[in-house]
Amino acid sequence: MARKGYRKPKAVIGDPTDPDGFSVWLHRFLESLRVRNYSAATVVTREQQLRLFFVWCDARGVVGPREVTKPILERYQRHVYHLRQSSGRNRGKPLGFQAQMNRLVPLRVFFRWLTRENVLLWNPASELMLPKVRRQLPKYVLTAEEAETVLAVPDVSEPLGVRDRAMLEVLYSTGIRRMELLNLTIYDMREDRGTLMVRRGKGGKDRVVPISERAMQWVRRYLNEVRDGLLVPPASEQLFLSHHGESPVPRYLTALVRGYVKESGVPKRGSCHLFRHTAATLMLENGADIRSIQELLGHASLEATQIYTHVSIARLKAVHEATHPASRDLLRPVAKAQVTETAGTESELQEALADELAVELGGA
């Protein structure tokens, strides 16, 4: 078993002194990304995916970008398609099309950069056909009651339990991503304004999001009772610390949250992103407009946020029950009385609900 903190050394790609080899051009490409202010996470990901391709090429006698042709890229694409996952619960299963896309997109970016730098006269990846990736709806979304059940699992009589409850509350209240939570500092929460500053979000963008009073109370308790006991010199500004006094690694946080979800007995699986899906869906069902959800989640485009209009079915179900002939006559008296309060006649009710549905699903 590898010792903690051990990292497998990077594979050597061909001759690192060859001016036309992959190693030299990989180094220059990554440097160009840093110069253009790409995030460190993007640089690391691009390097990892490109190295996989370069190692594959090296094993087949292709030692530099000038030797790469369109047929070679298509052959690599078929290789990626037939790959099988080597670990986890999906071991032995083929890579998903999103994972395949993640391996191929950096190749297009790399060879486009080489062409712009006049290293190559033409771009062999310009006509590479990428796999079609269908947008999937979140598989699991918690109800409000299920979310409260998960939040109640940490043992708050223990210091780490208080820390864990505070992290879960922040995830649920703000819908921020895993890395955004880990990047929080002690200065990012503004109690006087009820907001949280999310720094270095996806794409390196900052944003301000609201945070609930309850979440702030748990963070305040964590700061007052727990955090100083976790600090290890030199002092860190990170908000949430591990028992080693450092910022928890992403995999640790994923396993921690997944464990609490499993321990809660809720018949759903997930980790940090489960709370992100839950926050967006529940807010939408309770009347939030789609653009407010987009701003909260930090989505660059509205398209990514619109998946929650399909997950949140409460309004569509109400419209269906009020307007569909097969459901309309089966409305419970209480429900019928409630909707009649907002529209006097049945025709007015149908018209009002139809207009709302059109705005929610079509006009957003």
Tell me: do 159 and 198 sit in the same domain.
Answer: yes
CA dist 264 and 35 (Å) reads: 46
Q: Tell me, what's the pLDDT at 29?
A: 97
pLDDT at 150: 96
Q: How many CB atoms lie within 10 A of CB 201?
A: 18
Is the peptide bond prior to 16 cis by the omega test (within 30 degrees of 0)?
no
Domain interval for residue 287: 144-302
Residues 350 and 85: their CA atoms lie apart, in Å, by 51
**In this structure, are 67 and 187 located in the same domain?**
no
In a domain, 178, yes or no: yes
Domain-located, residue 2: no
State the pLDDT at residue 71. 95
Residue where one domain finishes, among candidates 302, 326, 341: 302
| Inter-axis angle of helices 333-342 and 346-357, nearest 10 | 80
Return the active site residues.
177, 202, 273, 276, 299, 308
pLDDT at position 163 is 96
Together in a domain, 231 and 288 = yes
Q: What is the pLDDT of residue 232?
A: 85
Element holding 260 (H helix, E strand): helix 250-264
What is the rounded distance in angstroms from the CA atom of residue 138 to the CA atom of residue 307? Answer: 8
> Residue 76 in contact with residue 53, Cβ under 8 Å?
yes
6 Cα distance to chain centroid: 26
Longest Cα pair distance anywhere in the chain, in angstroms? 81
Residue found by looking up tokens 């292709």 in the block: 62
End-to-end CA distance of the chain: 52
**Which residue, chain included where needed, has tokens 């309309």?**
328
Note whether 326 and 294 are same-domain residues: no
Do residues 271 and 183 share a domain?
yes
Beta strand 195-198 pairing with 207-210? antiparallel
Same-domain pairing of 195 and 293: yes
Angle between helices 314-323 and 346-357 (to 10 degrees): 150
- Hey, what are 363's tokens? 């006009």
Give the torsion sign (CA, 316, 317, 322, 324).
positive
Residue 199 lies in a domain: yes
Query: Which amino acid, residue 284?
Result: L
pLDDT along the chain (364 residues), means of 10: 49 74 94 91 92 94 94 95 77 83 94 95 92 78 94 95 96 92 92 89 82 95 94 86 88 94 94 91 86 85 73 73 71 49 48 50 45
- Mark whether 296 and 150 lie in a shared domain: yes
pLDDT for 3 equals 47
Number of domains in the chain: 3
